[in-house]
Amino acid sequence: MAESAGPLLPTLKSIVGEANVLTAADEVAPFCIDWRERYRGSTRAVVRPGSTAEVASVVRCCAEHGVPVVPQGGNTGLCGGATPHESGDEVVISLSRLNRVRAIDAANATMTVEAGVPLAAVQDAAAKAGLLFPLSLAAEGSCLIGGNLATNAGGTAVLRYGNARDLVVGLEVVLADGRVWESLKGLRKDNTGYDLKQLFLGSEGTLGIITAAVLKLFPQPRTSATAWAGIADVAASVALLGAMRAALGDRLTGFELVSAECVALACAQFPTLSDPLPGHPWYALIQADDAAAGSPLLGEIERALAEAVAEGLAQDATIAQSQAQANALWAIREHIPDAQRRRGPNMKHDISVPVSRIPVFLDRARAALDAAFPGVRYFVFGHLGDGNLHYNLSSPAGIAPAEFIAETPRANRIVYDLVAEQGGSFSAEHGIGQMKRADLARYKPAIEVELMRRIKHALDPDSLLNPGKVLP
């Protein structure tokens, strides 16, 4: 049963050490607000365990006190999932001190990492072993691998390597009662019943706390090509995607769509960025990689793009001639979320529809939103190869951003109804958190919500793991 913070905090301090239980307002403040500054919460304490055993003891202690916990990684999530509620009842468990790469098994092409290793450090460790960990996203310097797995992050290489859940062959999880489920064998084949790890991947801290994982590694690309194509409209970009796929096969790693508005915004907010092909309404950023050194990839992508331009699928295209040029092209894409944040509040829609239906979705959404919010500004970009767009809206000129943001429910209804009409998802890669719970209730079939509730109840009967997140 819940007790006063008195007995709880000394026990937590005895588990993780006094220095790793933060309670001062200024110390806990960064853990109580989300990256977009849309959710502000409050907490009894931020606890920073340094090992799986300490996470387990902390969770057990909180469970004994009836105190709910909120796991937190790099706090870059975009749906408020890692932000505690305003009540101040919860304890935030930061995984950042679980930051060891436990092992790299090159022959098995796997690495075992703790949840608090930043994604960029996971990539670096794999590269040092001559291998590739392909998960990649703009927040990779700040997000932690445990957060990536808890949100089943997508990013820029899903087209070839899949989402985070496709990259995991083992998991270690602290359960709601503080017991540890350890399954870190690193097997690529194991048909011994239900695949339990899939329950925790993408569960946003509501079913267990991920403390370590075995990740799949791949050969490092030895030949790479990065191209930037100017495109007349989205239908042409879908056709261009098909042409690139036909020409490059599974060497096509990423195919990102970026609107001219997004490029202009990124370049305006970050003046070191510049558009190498100004003047087109849309752009595709195309990444292709081959594990073979001296592969004919560059010549093939050059030919494929020349044909695409001749056929009108692209208006113009350029291929990076150096790694620095490739990085500069990716920098435009990766600075868009931050450029939007700097510009001010906006409405984000992380949607997916089958790739073939993207043009019709965009046409219908634009018509409906123009009618509902005359002058609304569109910032559309994302992972076209996965059918996943970040369909973001900013206030019309002359309307205060706050006034526009107040219209979020009405705009969401328009966008998500049209997404549903096209057989899509209202959350492609960012998850549900506290932001999209009502949408989950509206757009998920009732039977799915019921099954999710039953799983939640089976694994966390007292609702102590990140309560009020994900489930409506």
Residues facing residue 180 across a β-bridge: 174
Pick 209 or 248: Cβ nearer ligand FAD:
209
Cα four-point dihedral sign 289, 292, 293, 298: negative
Residue among 113 and 393 whose Cβ is closer to ligand FAD: 113
- If the CB atoms of residues 95 and 101 are measured against ligand FAD, the closer one turns out to be 95
Nearer to ligand FAD, 344 or 375 (CB): 344
Nearest to 472 by CA among 439, 425, 431, 430: 439
Q: Give the span between the Cα atoms of 236 and 357, in whole angstroms.
A: 13
Taking the C-alpha atoms of residue 130 and residue 126, their distance in angstroms, rounded to an integer, is 7
What residues contact 195, with CB distance under 8 A and at least 6 apart? none
- CB of 365 vs ligand FAD, minimal distance in Å: 21
Minimum distance of ligand FAD from residue 168's CB (angstroms): 13
SS3 444: coil
Query: 91 vs 139, which CB is nearer to ligand FAD?
Result: 139
Residue among 65 and 333 whose Cβ is closer to ligand FAD:
333
Choose between 204 and 439: whose C-beta lies nearer to ligand FAD: 204
Give residue number: closest CB to ligand FAD.
147
Closest CA relative to residue 284, chosen from 375, 385, 155: 385
User: Among residues 30 and 423, whose Cβ is nearest to ligand FAD?
Assistant: 30
Shortest Å, Cβ 54 to ligand FAD: 13
How are the residues of the chain apportioned to helix, strand and coil, as percentages rounded to the nearest 5? 40, 20, 40
> What is the distance between the alpha carbons of residues 114 and 183, in angstroms, rounded to a whole number?
13
C-alpha angle 150/415/470, rounded to 5°?
25
Q: What is the smallest separation between the CB atom of 143 and ligand FAD, expressed in angstroms? A: 3
In 3D space, the residue among 327, 325, 248, 236 whose CA is nearest the CA of residue 283 turns out to be 236
We find the least distance from the C-beta atom of residue 59 to ligand FAD, in angstroms, to be: 11
DSSP H or E run through 286 = strand 282-290
Exposed/middle/buried for residue 264 (C-beta within 10 Å: 0-12, 13-18, 19+): middle
Please, what is the Cα angle at 460 between 93 and 171, to 5 degrees? 65
Question: Alpha-carbon Rg of the chain, whole angstroms?
Answer: 23
Closest CB 370 distance from ligand FAD, rounded Å = 27
User: Among candidates 349, 358, 433, 382, which has minimal Cα distance to 81?
Assistant: 433
Minimum Å gap between C-beta 384 and ligand FAD is 13
To the nearest whole angstrom, how small is the minimum distance from the Cβ of residue 82 to ligand FAD?
4
Closest distance of CB 350 from ligand FAD, Å:
8
Q: Label the pairing between strands 45-47 and 21-22.
A: antiparallel
CB of 428 to ligand FAD, least distance (A): 8
Question: Which CB, 76 or 110, lies closer to ligand FAD?
Answer: 76
Residue closer to ligand FAD (CB basis): 216 or 280:
216
Select from 301, 330, 286, 314 the least CA-distant residue to 230. 314
> CB of 229 within 8 A of CB of 240?
yes
Q: How far apart are CA 468 and CA 472, in angstroms?
A: 8
Contact residues: ligand FAD, CB under 6 A: 35, 70-78, 81-82, 95, 115, 137-139, 143-144, 146-148, 150-151, 153-155, 204-205, 209-210, 337-338, 429-430, 433, 466, 469
Q: Which is nearer to ligand FAD, 210 or 304 (CB)?
A: 210
In the complex, least distance from residue 286 CB atom to ligand FAD, rounded to whole angstroms:
17
